[in-house]
Amino acid sequence: MTPRAASLAPCTQHDPRRVRPPVPEHAEPDWKAVQAELRREVSDFTFHLWLEPLRLAHRAEATLFVTAPAHVRTWVRDRHMHQLGSAARAVLGEAGRIELVDEAWVPADTAGATAGPGSGARETPASFNPKYAFDQFVIGDGNRLAHAAALAVAEQPGQAYNPLFLHGPPGLGKTHLLHAIGNYVQAHDPGLAVHYATVETFTNEFVKAVRGGNPAEFKERFRRSDVVLIDDVQFLAEKTKTKEEFFHSFNALYEAGSQLVFTSDRSPSDLESFEARLRERFGCGLVAEVEPPDFDVRMAILRKRAGLDALADVSEETLLEIARRVTASVRVLEGALIRVVAYASLRGERASPALASHVLGRLYPAASHKSSLEEIQDACAAAYGLERTALLAQDRTRHVALARQVAMYLSRELTDETLPEIGRRFGGRNHTTVLHAHRKVALGMTADRDTADKVRDIRRRLGNAG
C-alpha cells in the first residue's frame, strides 16, 4: 500500500478478451464530489496540472478505481495519494478509498470469466513503489548508517539488526528505505511474507477487525509475516488500545524471529507519550538517524531526479540554483524541481537559473552573499553576548552550547564547507557534532519562536534575508 493513502493496484497487460465494464451511473456523482474536495485541499495550479486529468474507471463498494495518464501517474502516486484518500473518506465515509490503476486495468471479477482453467486466486503481495529502490537512494553523511542498516536487513532479514528503528524529520527518505527493503526482499526471496503498513493503516485495520468481531483474524494475518515494515509509529501516541495490540504483536513477531523495521519523526527516547516498555522495544535493536542532506547530496538528488524523469533540458546551473535555495528535505527539494519544470512547461520556456529564482524566490529566499565561517562565528557570538573564542572552546554551559549550535547550523546553511571542515573550525569537533547541531536548531526553529527570531536576526546581520 502506498504511504498514507490507498494502495496502488498492480498494472496489468492489456488482453483483448478482457473488457472493463462501464462505470455505474451512481458512481459518477461521488467522483465529482471527490474532485470538489480535492479542489478545496490543493491549489488551483496543482489541481489542474496533476489531479484534473484523473478519470474514474470502476467502483467496488467504497473503493473508487481511478486511472491517470502516463505523464502524471508517477507524480500523483508519489505525492497526492494522501489527498485522494482524504477526499474519498470525506465523501464515502471511513471506508472510502482511492486506488490508482493502469489505464489497461480490468476489475478482477471481470477478468475471472476469461482467465481460463487452472487460474486460482491467491493473496496479493505487498505493493512497493519500484522507484524506491536502494540504487535510487542518494547516500550522504546524514543517511549513510540508515542506508547501510536497511540494506543489511534486506539481505538478511531477522539476522542483521532487529528491530531497526529509523528516525528523522519528514521528507528525508525513511519511507524510501522501507520500500527499498520490501522491493529487495520480494525480488531476492519471494518466499518471505512482507507486510508494509503506515500506523494509520494498522489502526484502521485493527479497529475494523474489532468492530467486526474478528480481531483474531487480524492478529493472525499480521503476525504470520516474515518482514514487517511500519511507517510513522509516532502517530500511535494517542491510540491506547492500538498501542496495546501493537505491543503484543511486536513481542510475538520478535520472538518468532520476524524482521521488524519502524520509522518515526523522533527517536525512541523522544516518544514521551509512549509507555517505557514500548520505547524500550523500539530501542533494543539498532536506532539510526536520518539527517537533512548537505549541499553536495542535494545536488546529487536533483541530478538523479532529473535523470529519472528525463529532464535533460534542465541545466546544471538551474539545479545549482534550486539546491542553494531548498535545504529542508528530499521531498521538498524534488518538489521544487518539479515546480520549476512545470512552470517552465506551462509558459513554453526553458528551465533556467533565472526562472528557478523567480518561481522559488518567495518560498525559499537565497543568500545575498556568501558568508565565511569567521563572519558567522563573530555574528553568533555577538548575538549571544560572547567572544568568538567561546564557540571554539570546550565550554558546554547551555548558553554557550546553544550559540555554538546556531553557528554550526548557519555554517552549514550559508557556506559550501564540508561537515568535517566545519567541525575542524569549531575547535576540532567531528562531523557528527555538526549534524546534531544542525538538526537540533532546525527542529528548534519550528517549535520555538525565540530561536527562529534569533536565527533570522543573525542572518540579517550577515546580510542574508533568508
pLDDT digits (tens, 9 = 90+) for 284-342: 889 999 888 877 888 888 888 887 666 777 888 888 888 888 877 788 888 888 888 88
Does the pLDDT value for residue 5 go beyond 50? no
Counted domains in the chain: 4
Do 203 and 266 fall into the same domain? yes
Do 146 and 279 fall into the same domain? yes
Kindly state whether residue 22 falls inside one of the protein's structural domains: no
What CATH number did the domain enclosing 195 receive?
A: 3.40.50.300
Cβ 427 vs Cβ 394: under 8 Å:
yes
Kindly state whether residue 218 falls inside one of the protein's structural domains: yes
Domain boundary among 274, 289, 304: 289
Kindly state whether residue 405 falls inside one of the protein's structural domains: yes
Do 414 and 318 fall into the same domain? no
Domain boundary among 271, 289, 307: 289
- How many Cα neighbours within 13 Å face the side chain of 16? 0
Do 154 and 254 fall into the same domain? yes
Kindly state whether residue 344 falls inside one of the protein's structural domains: yes
What CATH number did the domain enclosing 457 receive?
A: 1.10.1750.10
Closest CA to 221 of 243, 180, 247, 252: 252
Do 172 and 268 fall into the same domain? yes
Do 263 and 139 fall into the same domain? yes
Domain boundary among 57, 73, 108: 108
What CATH number did the domain enclosing 319 receive?
A: 1.10.8
Strands 55-60 and 164-167: unpaired
Do 168 and 245 fall into the same domain? yes
Residues 88, 9: Cα–Cα separation, whole Å: 16
Do 304 and 387 fall into the same domain? no
pLDDT tens figures, 122-170: 333 456 777 788 988 988 888 899 999 999 999 999 887 889 999 988 8
Do 229 and 336 fall into the same domain? no
Kindly state whether residue 9 falls inside one of the protein's structural domains: no
Do 212 and 340 fall into the same domain? no
Per-residue pLDDT band for 108 (boundaries 50, 70, 90) equals low
Instruction: Give, in order, the Cα–Cα distances in Å from 464 to each of 325, 343, 354, 363, 415.
Output: 12, 27, 19, 15, 12
Do 69 and 203 fall into the same domain? no
Cβ 64 vs Cβ 31: under 8 Å:
yes
Domain coverage including residue 392: 373-461
Q: Which pTM does this prediction carry? A: 0.56
What CATH number did the domain enclosing 62 receive?
A: 3.30.300.180
Do 140 and 226 fall into the same domain? yes
